[in-house]
Amino acid sequence: MQMALESQNPWWFSKTFNTGIDRLQMFPEIMQYLKAKEVLILTGARRTGKSTIVYQIIDHLLKSGTNKENILYVNLDEPLFMSMADDPQLLGRIIEEYKSSRAKDGILYLCIDEIQNYRYWAYAVKTFYDTKEDIKCILSGSTSSTLKNDAAMRLSGRYLTCTIYPLSFQEFLTFKGDKNPPLIEKTQFFEEYLKFGGYPRIVLEEDRDLRQKILKNYYETIYLKDIILPNNLRNSSDLINLLYYLISNPANLCSYNKIAEIQHVSPETVKEYIEYAQNCYLLYTLMKFSYSVKKQIANPKKIYALDTGLINAVSFSFSENKGRILENYVFNCLNRNFDGIYYHKERYECDFVVKSKDKIALAMQVTLSLKDPDTKKREIRGLKEAMDSYSLSKGYIITESEKDVIITDNKKIYIIPAYDLEKETENESENISA
């Protein structure tokens, strides 16, 4: 055990370790939570960079003066630790041995990666929190349901969470080494981002064919390790076929009954498999807004994927489905900044409305272009209906590259190119929460 820990903690011996490209600045809440007593839990899909961010936290602690021997990192993907996953005393024994042999006076920062691999993690961490004032726990994991359920049951009131998503477009530009490229280059970068997505490893890979292969591997690893194996699914082909169908049809309205009919499975199975996909962050469902929760649940859903690169690697031709890929990107932007996201549909449809403080505060449409008069009429009509329904004075239409302002019936509609959306969403998030 000692050898495994020494290999995972190179800073004990003043050795360098890879912290990757800095992302901590994109998660100011991490610095805030790091100062609090509560357990910090980093969640998110596999390969989104959680482990690297844990290393960046460790690097920050070292640079801030924390004793190198007061930082203990444990990766529970290590075969030795995985073989002890059924030992309820594992973490307690690691801590006691470590504190007696190496730790110094002061706060011990306990960083545990892939925490979901250890069955008794919530019990152990609760014990540390309640009885060890000098331990600050920083955890990361890839399975939402496991972490949320165990944390809610055992750590109620004792933890704070931060979800790590694939890179935003602004982070993508940072990884490319050009935060403020000229417009032509920016549009080219955005095209690449839509096609290959924001997984850090993918963004840094130059070989496009290799990107596709790695993305397919990510997808297969997620459904195998985070859905099939933990849920003991015997007939995995039904799940694989359903996931392929859903990820090939992002942004489409669909009902469980209709999907069940197409896939030749029961609606209950569809619901169950979609929940599994949501629990590992692979897919998200968007409900129609209604003040009645029953109506929200009963209406058709829209399905979006974690990453546009996954959609393109797994399913269809990028150019033929660019409009739906763009809408998926917009959903991901909103999902990072807002909690209450829905679609609107009465006589007409509006792609996104955002709820804040018991009312709709933002409405947004997505289309590749407004150059076609019929498209422009349809998009404005749906957006304006939503604006009228929720008494909004402004709304947004997100396009691939067009920019304009339309004033109609004393309401302002801002036409925004998608590559500028993230800044606009951050501004709206601040305005709404103010």
The whole-number pLDDT of residue 434 equals 61
Mean pLDDT by 10 residues, the chain (434 residues): 91 96 93 95 94 97 96 94 92 90 89 92 94 94 72 89 96 96 97 97 97 97 92 92 95 94 96 95 96 90 97 80 95 95 97 94 98 97 98 97 94 97 88 72
| Model confidence pTM above 0.85 | yes
Give how far Cα 383 sits from Cα of 301, 379, 414, Å: 19, 6, 11
* Domain regions of the chain by residue span: 2-163, 169-433
CA dist., res. 393 & res. 386, Å (int) = 11
The whole-number pLDDT of residue 103 equals 77
Topology of domain 2-163 in CATH is Rossmann fold (3.40.50)
2-16 pLDDT tens trace: 889 999 999 999 999
The whole-number pLDDT of residue 145 equals 61
DSSP letter string, 243-283: HHHHHHSTT-EE-HHHHHHHHTS-HHHHHHHHHHHHHTTSE
